[in-house]
A and B are shown apart, each in its own frame.
Chain A
């Protein structure tokens, strides 16, 4: 009886696609958090909201316009940031509000909020059709593949961009590649928890795993574990208690983080890794 939920096709699709999303979000999130781009996911997903509204307005499939608008926006922002020296957090704010602004504007022009829009805002992991699932799995393989191929470059560039550059890495190019992979990851992952909660999957499992992990590989694996666990248990809980899966998933990642902090504080799981200031 406990396993009956696994016999539903929508559940199977949700759990498989959700786990794939959990993996790419935590993987990409490690680099985003360490580069102090934690809210980049938020900015991209708000841009995606603008993109979706363009789709709804023009009659093009909203997901495609979401990809186009957020990736173009993010690339533009990277370029702008380089040439105007706008700081990272301010750049994120610009991206976030301009994306959401376009969205609100176009949606009011199209005649208000629809069911489609709600599923983008709050996620709709249990409403996937076969095409959605194929797309999510294909993108996930692509993202994982690119990160595996570029892992050394990305690690060095995340650790210290200037050092990476002096080692001969073309960091300008890598920056653009990085932004595109991040953009694709975020837009694909919106289906799971929605535009408004995407940062949770990108940021929280990574902050938690950095408290446990020793090396980089170790940290990435822990983060993926936390992420997949949160998604799977969140979906199952939401089924039994009739809750929104996105909310359940996000609150589980929050609970794991808070639990870790409390446990560290009371010395239950060893002392926290001391934060050392660079001279």
Chain B
């Protein structure tokens, strides 16, 4: 069963079309890199997949569509560009990561789909155990285990983003959706993060959909690439994308244009 199938999805709001008839599939074990300039609709597409945005067309995860609360949401890891939270929130890093373990009751409803996703209920139940070691393990993956007892408002922006990655990883997701997760993060942290992505995709066999501006990183890590700007221009093997001069040229130009526009 394919983790994600997007068919003919169109999203319009306030009279403009943000996404126009986009279709693509993600196979189990894929690391799909989605590239496109700012405002290309990548975030909007992700929000539709996660039930936060109305759309027309079909979006199936593990063969099942639910436009609001997909039963497998508890097993899908999502890292957004930024999280809006009260900066003075009295929670420690491990308390925030542990939020990722939620919620077992809701997940039970989707137990039929779990099998298609490669899980039995018992496995999931064990996995959702309130086990502190799981949280520490996730923090180790992002090299933050020594920060577990820090208050969330006391760490830097780059560390914060790694905490949210750990929160997505702690549930051992069947699908990981990353929306430009390292925007505004220093280069060293970015590289660490790229290593993490590679590791969890190769070792833990987690399917990943990842949007990024960093073509170099996508060239290094992804096995497939999708290129979009409102419409989908390309979807296929990475090698095919990076050997297509025209496509690269168009992408670079539109990205440059957007860049100029933003400054």
17 sampled A-B residue pairs with Cβ under 8 A: A34-B89, A152-B102, A160-B84, A165-B69, A166-B78, A167-B102, A168-B70, A168-B74, A168-B103, A215-B91, A216-B91, A216-B95, A217-B95, A218-B90, A278-B84, A278-B85, A279-B184
User: Is B29 among interface residues, defined by CB-CB distance under 8 A?
Assistant: no
A274 to B99, alpha carbons, bound, how many Å? Answer: 23
User: Which of B85, B88, B184 contacts A210 (CB under 8 A)?
Assistant: B88
Asked whether, in the complex, the Cβ of B157 is within 8 Å of the Cβ of A215, the reply is: no
A153 to B74, alpha carbons, bound, how many Å? Answer: 12
Q: List the A side residues contacting B101 at CB < 8 Å.
A: 152
Asked whether, in the complex, the Cβ of A214 is within 8 Å of the Cβ of B103, the reply is: no
Task: Please name the residue on chain B nearest to A223 by beta carbon.
Answer: B90
Task: Please name the residue on chain A nearest to B75 by beta carbon.
Answer: A168
Q: List the A side residues contacting B94 at CB < 8 Å.
A: 215
Residue picked from A168, A214, A274, A279, most chain B C-beta under 10 Å: A168
Least CB distance from B19 to A in Å reads: 19
Q: A170-B69, A216-B91, A275-B87 are in contact. List 20 more A-B contacts (CB 8 A).
A: A36-B86, A152-B101, A152-B102, A152-B103, A155-B95, A155-B99, A156-B102, A162-B84, A165-B69, A166-B50, A166-B52, A168-B71, A169-B103, A214-B149, A214-B151, A215-B95, A218-B90, A278-B82, A278-B85, A279-B184
Asked whether, in the complex, the Cβ of B91 is within 8 Å of the Cβ of A164, the reply is: no
Task: Please name the residue on chain A nearest to B183 by beta carbon.
Answer: A279
Asked whether, in the complex, the Cβ of B83 is within 8 Å of the Cβ of A160, the reply is: yes
Least CB distance from A33 to B in Å reads: 9
Q: List the B side residues contacting A209 at CB < 8 Å.
A: 90
A167 to B72, alpha carbons, bound, how many Å? Answer: 9
A273 to B96, alpha carbons, bound, how many Å? Answer: 17
Asked whether, in the complex, the Cβ of A167 is within 8 Å of the Cβ of B100, the reply is: yes
Least CB distance from A259 to B in Å reads: 19
A151 to B90, alpha carbons, bound, how many Å? Answer: 15
Asked whether, in the complex, the Cβ of B90 is within 8 Å of the Cβ of A215, the reply is: yes
Task: Please name the residue on chain B nearest to A212 by beta carbon.
Answer: B90
Residue picked from B50, B94, B95, B102, most chain A C-beta under 10 Å: B102
A34 to B91, alpha carbons, bound, how many Å? Answer: 11
Query: Of residues 28 to 87 in B, which have CB atoms within 8 Å of A's CB atoms?
Result: 50-52, 69-74, 76, 78, 80, 82-87
Q: List the B side residues contacting A167 at CB < 8 Å.
A: 73-74, 99-100, 102-103
Task: Please name the residue on chain A nearest to B46 by beta carbon.
Answer: A166
Q: List the A side residues contacting B85 at CB < 8 Å.
A: 159-160, 278
Q: How many residues of A contact B (CB 8 A)?
A: 33
Residues in chain A within 8 A of chain B (CB atoms): 34, 36, 152-153, 155-156, 159-160, 162-170, 209-210, 213-219, 273-279
User: Which of B82, B83, B91, B153 contacts A276 (CB under 8 A)?
Assistant: B153
- Beyond A152-B99, A163-B83, whether A215 also contacts B51 by CB under 8 A is no
Asked whether, in the complex, the Cβ of A275 is within 8 Å of the Cβ of B102, the reply is: no
* A-B pairs with lowest CB-CB distance, top 8: A168-B73, A168-B74, A219-B90, A215-B92, A156-B99, A168-B106, A216-B91, A213-B90
Q: List the B side residues contacting A213 at CB < 8 Å.
A: 90
Q: List the B side residues contacting A218 at CB < 8 Å.
A: 90
Least CB distance from B70 to A in Å reads: 8
Task: Please name the residue on chain B nearest to A159 by beta carbon.
Answer: B85
A273 to B157, alpha carbons, bound, how many Å? Answer: 16
Asked whether, in the complex, the Cβ of B88 is within 8 Å of the Cβ of A275, the reply is: yes
User: Is B107 among interface residues, defined by CB-CB distance under 8 A?
Assistant: yes
Asked whether, in the complex, the Cβ of B153 is within 8 Å of the Cβ of A274, the reply is: yes
